[in-house]
């Protein structure tokens, strides 16, 4: 949560091992999600020798990473990384990066592997990240992306996660893996607006404070009975608490039936919710060509005692040594976002009640079929089609275009109460991948996706969702040349072409009348932004010494300086609709030293 670090993620890719990104009919061990799962893991540090990495990049910042063995056993290791915002340092010397507001961020990540013993393997991991950004009205340009000259805005976010992972091998056929973790995220945003251009008098317009705490326990027993049959049984317990307060003069209100602004109440939430998710799955190889995966995932939400049973099915058929066919089905369920679930709204007597607290899960039937073809050891071609039907989707009881399926397309959750699980949606499409793994000094990848994403609100009209780009194509590649025994030259490129997003048009006349942006929600997601295009190119050199290696890269992002539209919004200062653009041509540098 939080956007104050800009595009830099606190998840440091230098520490990641191979991770699974599952987007359809995922296995029974994953729950409380209807669209996808990103199963991320940290690699272990070097268990043989101590290594140091120092890195400087204008985009991701300054980084120092240390890894090596613990003691002399060769069985234990540590891995620690710290990063600090480079643009914050650059701003000290008067350099600007698209806005006068400077994003400040830093993060610390660690993974400690305590090695194998008779008690099993223990790993201790954690991340800590903090960030903030201030938009000072009198320092801003008229065309600033995220703020206006008549206000001072300050945003802060911080989060931490720490956990212990334990793996115990019972015997050659069974092992137990357990993880317990604690995470915390805090987000604060306040905005003060000025009464005139002298910046002498101001008033508090918005003050938002969110504090989310989470404890998660996951344990599983994996058993392999024979070469044909294996199973996995497990349990996840997830406990979350949210304390959230909002003091705001308006929350982007819609117009009511009389054409007047319908102001939303301030938010004051102190809620807790627990989900219990047992699951089991069996993998059975009926013959040399056919493999079945049968699973069942359960989910119990204790706040209002909602429960769901979710069958999962996967099938793979090896047509030949190079080609395989796969098919899958999954029924998935997801608890509503806590800021929506615990939202307090006034009733007819003026009492504030959690009118969304009886909402059940959003649910989804997901079907997928695909073909995987490997024409050579270093080539792969994958084709996949899918259909997803979403139901029990929260929408308004009164006629409107609102649906919770569009949550996440904006920076905040919708503050709308009195919702009901009567909405629907569907996604379907076709995807293909052509991949050349790195060999013979080069690699390449092409991905294409053509899809539709639709939903229905309580007005019964089928509309585009906020995520319906309709198509996305990516092509990337790279090659290395050996200049001599110690020097390697590298080139890389990436090109993306995608359909524009659908947005809701601004009611300019009403916005001018009331002094803030009002959307034409009866025409929700009817305007399509222009298509997106971006070309990046990178050149570099790698110097390999006996004890020290160095890498230098020049990364030219958006080489063609394409003006891709970010959004269209009402400017309350100029009383016009502004078109905001994403970043244009941006050169980045990277220098990395390893020893």
Q: What is the pLDDT of residues 291-310, one digit of tens each?
A: 999 999 999 999 999 999 99
Residue 8: the pLDDT is: 78
Per the prediction, the chain carries an average pLDDT of: 89
Question: How far apart, in whole angstroms, are the C-alpha atoms of residue 233 and residue 237?
Answer: 14
pLDDT score of 356 more than 70: yes
Q: What is the pLDDT of residues 26-73, one digit of tens each?
A: 899 999 999 889 998 999 999 999 999 999 987 778 999 999 999 877
Q: Are 394 and 417 in contact (CB under 8 A)?
A: no
| pLDDT > 70 in the chain, percent | 93
Q: Are 362 and 435 in contact (CB under 8 A)?
A: no
Report in angstroms the alpha-carbon separations of 18 from 43, 179, 472.
8, 18, 24
3-state SS class at 527: strand
Q: Which residues contact 463 (CB under 8 A, 6 or more apart)?
A: 401, 454, 455, 456, 457, 524, 525, 526
pLDDT score of 262 more than 50: no
Residue 450: the pLDDT is: 98
Q: What is the pLDDT of residues 530-545, one digit of tens each?
A: 999 999 999 999 999 8
Kindly compute the dihedral angle of the four CA atoms of residues 69, 70, 72, 74, in this order, to the nearest 10 degrees.
Answer: -50
Question: How far apart, in whole angstroms, are the C-alpha atoms of residue 347 and residue 577?
Answer: 35
Residue 259: the pLDDT is: 47
pLDDT score of 148 more than 90: no
pLDDT score of 25 more than 90: no
**Stated length of the chain:** 595
Q: What is the pLDDT of residues 394-433, one digit of tens each?
A: 999 999 999 999 998 877 788 898 999 999 999 999 999 9
Q: CA angle at residue 112 from 111 to 118, to 5 degrees? A: 140
pLDDT score of 250 more than 80: no
Mean pLDDT of 99-110: 82
Quick one: pLDDT band at residue 85, thresholds 50, 70, 90? Answer: confident
Mean pLDDT of 553-564: 94
Residue 23: the pLDDT is: 81
Q: What is the pLDDT of residues 364-374, one digit of tens each?
A: 999 999 999 99
């Amino acid at each position: 949560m939080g956007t104050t670090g800009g595009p830099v993620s606190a998840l440091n890719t230098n520490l990641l091992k191979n991770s699974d990104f599952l987007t359809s009919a995922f296995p029974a061990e994953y729950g409380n999600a209807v669209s996808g799962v990103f199963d991320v893991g940290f690699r272990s540090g070097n268990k043989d020798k101590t290594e140091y990495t120092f890195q400087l990049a204008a985009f991701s910042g300054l980084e120092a990473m240390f890894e090596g063995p613990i003691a002399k056993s060769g069985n234990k290791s540590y891995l620690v990384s710290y990063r600090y915002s480079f643009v914050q340092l650059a701003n000290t010397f008067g350099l600007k990066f698209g806005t006068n507001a400077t994003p400040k961020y830093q993060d610390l990540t660690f993974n400690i592997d305590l090695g194998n013993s008779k008690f099993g393997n223990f790993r201790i991991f954690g991340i800590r990240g903090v960030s903030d950004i201030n938009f000072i009205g009198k320092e801003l340009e008229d065309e600033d992306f995220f703020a206006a000259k008549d206000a001072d805005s300050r945003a802060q976010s911080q989060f931490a996660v720490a956990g212990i992972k334990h793996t115990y091998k019972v015997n050659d056929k069974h092992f137990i893996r357990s993880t317990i973790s604690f995470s915390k995220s805090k987000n604060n945003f306040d905005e003060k607006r000025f009464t005139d251009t002298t910046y002498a008098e101001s008033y508090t317009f918005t003050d938002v404070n969110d504090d989310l705490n989470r404890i998660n326990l996951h344990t599983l027993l994996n058993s392999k009975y024979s070469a044909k049959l294996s199973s996995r049984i497990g349990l996840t317990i997830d406990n979350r608490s949210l304390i959230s307060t909002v003091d705001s003069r308006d929350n982007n209100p819609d117009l009511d039936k009389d054409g007047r602004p319908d102001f939303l109440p301030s938010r004051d939430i102190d809620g807790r919710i627990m989900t219990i998710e047992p699951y089991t799955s069996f993998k059975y190889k009926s013959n040399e060509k056919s493999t079945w995966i049968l699973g069942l995932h359960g989910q119990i939400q204790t706040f209002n005692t909602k429960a769901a049973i979710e069958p999962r099915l996967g099938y793979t058929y090896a047509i030949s040594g190079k080609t395989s066919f796969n098919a899958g089905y999954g029924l998935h369920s997801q608890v509503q976002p806590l800021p929506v679930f615990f939202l307090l709204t006034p009733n007819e007597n003026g009492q504030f009640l959690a009118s969304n607290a009886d909402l059940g899960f959003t649910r989804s039937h997901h079907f997928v079929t695909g073909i995987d073809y490997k024409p050579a050891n270093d080539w792969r071609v994958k084709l996949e089609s899918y259909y997803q039907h979403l139901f029990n989707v929260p929408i308004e009881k009164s006629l409107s275009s609102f649906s919770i399926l569009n949550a996440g397309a904006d920076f905040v959750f919708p503050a709308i109460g009195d919702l009901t699980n009567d909405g629907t949606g569907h996604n379907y499409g076709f995807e293909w991948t052509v991949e050349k793994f790195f060999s013979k000094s080069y690699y390449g990848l092409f991905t294409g996706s053509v899809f539709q994403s639709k939903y229905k609100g309580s007005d019964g009209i089928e509309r585009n969702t906020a995520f319906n780009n309709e198509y996305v194509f990516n092509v990337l590649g790279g090659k290395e040349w050996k200049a001599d025994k110690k020097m390697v030259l590298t080139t890389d490129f990436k090109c993306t072409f995608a359909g524009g997003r659908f947005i809701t048009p601004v009611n300019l006349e009403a916005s001018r009348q009331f002094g803030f942006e009002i959307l034409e929600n009866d025409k929700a997601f009817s305007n399509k932004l222009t298509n997106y295009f971006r070309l990046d190119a990178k050149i570099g050199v790698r110097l390999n010494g006996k004890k020290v290696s160095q890498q230098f890269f020049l990364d030219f992002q958006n080489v063609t300086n394409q003006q891709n539209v970010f959004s269209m919004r009402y400017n309350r200062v100029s009383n016009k609709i502004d078109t905001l653009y994403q970043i244009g041509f941006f050169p980045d540098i990277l220098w990395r030293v390893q020893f």
